[in-house]
Amino acid sequence: MIAGKTIILGITGGIAAYKGAALCSKLVQAGATVHVMMTKSATEFITPLTLQTLSRNPVHIDTFDERNPEVVTHIHLADHADLIVIAPATANFMAKMANGHGDDMLSTTLLAATCPIVIAPAMNVHMYEHPAVVDNMERLAARGAMFVEPGTGQLACGYVAKGRLAEPEDIVIALETWFTQNQKLKGKKVLITAGGTMERLDPVRYLTNDSSGKMGFAIAEAAQLMGADVTLVAGRTTEQPPKGVKVIRTQSAADMLDVVVNEFQNADIVVKAAAVADYRPAVVHEQKLKKTGESLVLELERTTDILATIGERKSHQFLVGFAAETEYLERHAMDKLQRKHCDLIVANDVSQDGVGFNGDTNAVEVYGPEGLVEALPLMSKRATAVRLMELISERIAAGGGSQS
């Protein structure tokens, strides 16, 4: 999958820079066109001539060293790259990336890039675990950067611990996996709902829930990375949706129902991750409801069940629902899967720490018609989303949905 791809290899100033030569060689041998960019500190560890010889392309170090008057080099390379890999990525350079600095050729190119970015950190174990470094990596991951975890072994400082750059062979495998994964849902139209709904009581008050939209947004990002054409129907959220997906904003359960029904027939995969209100005020007041006594009784009426509605209308779609529970997880999940004609149900126990609304982590159990398909331990919502989309693609490849 690497053959024919244009890859920018960024090498920063750590002792592991010497492994950049082996990585460059392996990418070229795999058929990639490799453009190497080095920070000035990286040139203290390995010469640009080595990388130029291996890549068969000029090595870029200085932003102002423009060799082709017809283009601005860092913009031109950023526009034509299929992927950028930073190996090794030092703590200092990741801090620059996280804060949007552009003071050299590599960091400036990254600011102009729209392609995926893969980061392979390498540093002392205490540096790798420093809260500032951890925070910078989390910020980069939240923007869509992917990481190749460092290995555990002998470090240049003498420690035997985590922090050594992943081996070039492992980085190449990670890139091949990404390019392969990027094709799994190519040509598929994926419809995803995210966030909570808002049910108006009056012009200044509404009923809602704790949903942040993070899980739905992570699923949209994962589907997009796998090559899908993604439409995201978002209610009330606390996060920004991933770039590059079509976003349709809604407020109430009725609004979301209208949009989902309208988009449903064109979808191949539907993932209902939104937390939709089960009830809404029976009367919506045109003016602010005034305080009139010691208590207030609200009459609520049922909203239309979106998942059940599209489950009844399903033809070719692969339908995935979510079940946020506090007890009897399997029983409720299987009941929901059958009643609402889903192909998979993603269930989680939101009474557990780190699971469910607002947080960055989740632990879920995925159920199909046969019962438990896979239990995913506590992990980031992004990692959960990637595995969920992999399961969906595997089930579709094996014969598609079975619930109708």
The model's pLDDT over 380-394, given as tens digits with 9 standing for 90+, comes to: 888 888 899 999 999
Q: pLDDT at residue 180 above 80?
A: no
The alpha carbon of residue 79 and the mean position of all alpha carbons in its chain are separated, in whole angstroms, by 22
Give the pLDDT mean for 12-18: 94
Q: Which residues contact 291 (CB under 8 A, 6 or more apart)?
A: none
The reported pLDDT for the residue numbered 338 is 96
Give the pLDDT mean for 188-203: 96
Superfamily of domain covering 189-281+293-397? CoaB-like (3.40.50.10300)
Stretch among 104-108, 265-269, 302-306, 385-389 having the lowest mean pLDDT: 385-389
The reported pLDDT for the residue numbered 158 is 63
Omega prior to 131 cis, within 30 of 0: no
Q: pLDDT at residue 155 above 70?
A: no
Element of type H or E holding 173? helix 168-181
The reported pLDDT for the residue numbered 160 is 58
Give the pLDDT mean for 76-98: 95
The reported pLDDT for the residue numbered 154 is 57
pLDDT band at 18 (very low <50, low <70, confident <90, very high): very high
pTM equals: 0.69
Q: What CATH number was assigned to the domain covering residues 6-181?
A: 3.40.50.1950
Catalytically annotated residue among 24, 115, 157, 342: 157
The reported pLDDT for the residue numbered 401 is 64
The yes-or-no answer on residue 157 being catalytic is yes
Stretch among 12-26, 131-145, 153-167, 318-332 having the lowest mean pLDDT: 153-167
Which percentage of the chain shows pLDDT scores above 90? 66
Q: Cα(223)–Cα(215) distance, rounded to whole angstroms? A: 12
pLDDT band at 157 (very low <50, low <70, confident <90, very high): low
pLDDT band at 240 (very low <50, low <70, confident <90, very high): confident
pLDDT band at 364 (very low <50, low <70, confident <90, very high): very high
Q: Are 191 and 216 contacting, i.e. CB atoms less than 8 angstroms apart?
A: no
Q: Cα(368)–Cα(376) distance, rounded to whole angstroms? A: 14
Strand intervals (E) in 78-133: 83-89, 117-121
Q: Cα(110)–Cα(116) distance, rounded to whole angstroms? A: 10
144 vs 289: which has the higher pLDDT: 289
Q: pLDDT at residue 152 above 70?
A: no
Alpha helices in 265-374 (DSSP H): 306-313, 329-339
The reported pLDDT for the residue numbered 135 is 92
Would you list which residues are annotated within the binding site? Answer: 278, 288, 322, 336, 340
Q: pLDDT at residue 359 above 60?
A: yes
Whole-number Cα distances in Å, 248 to 221, 230, 260, 262: 15, 11, 10, 12
> pLDDT, tens digit, for every residue of 35-70?
999 999 999 999 999 999 999 999 999 988 878 777
pLDDT band at 156 (very low <50, low <70, confident <90, very high): low
206 vs 359: which has the higher pLDDT: 206
The reported pLDDT for the residue numbered 239 is 80
Domain ranges of the chain: 6-181, 189-281+293-397
Q: pLDDT at residue 88 above 90?
A: yes
Give the pLDDT mean for 358-384: 89
User: Three-class SS of residue 86?
Assistant: strand
Would you list which residues are annotated within the binding site for CTP? Answer: 278, 288, 322, 336, 340
Instruction: Return the number of other C-beta atoms located less than 10 Å from residue 256's C-beta.
Output: 26
The reported pLDDT for the residue numbered 257 is 98
Q: pLDDT at residue 400 above 70?
A: no
Q: pLDDT at residue 402 above 70?
A: no
Of 104, 288, 103, which is closest to residue 203 (Cα–Cα)? Answer: 288
Q: pLDDT at residue 287 above 60?
A: yes
How many CA atoms are closer than 13 Å to the CA of 342, on its beta-carbon side? Answer: 28
Stretch among 158-162, 200-204, 367-371 having the lowest mean pLDDT: 158-162
The reported pLDDT for the residue numbered 375 is 95
pLDDT mean across residues, the chain: 90
Q: Cα(123)–Cα(107) distance, rounded to whole angstroms? A: 19
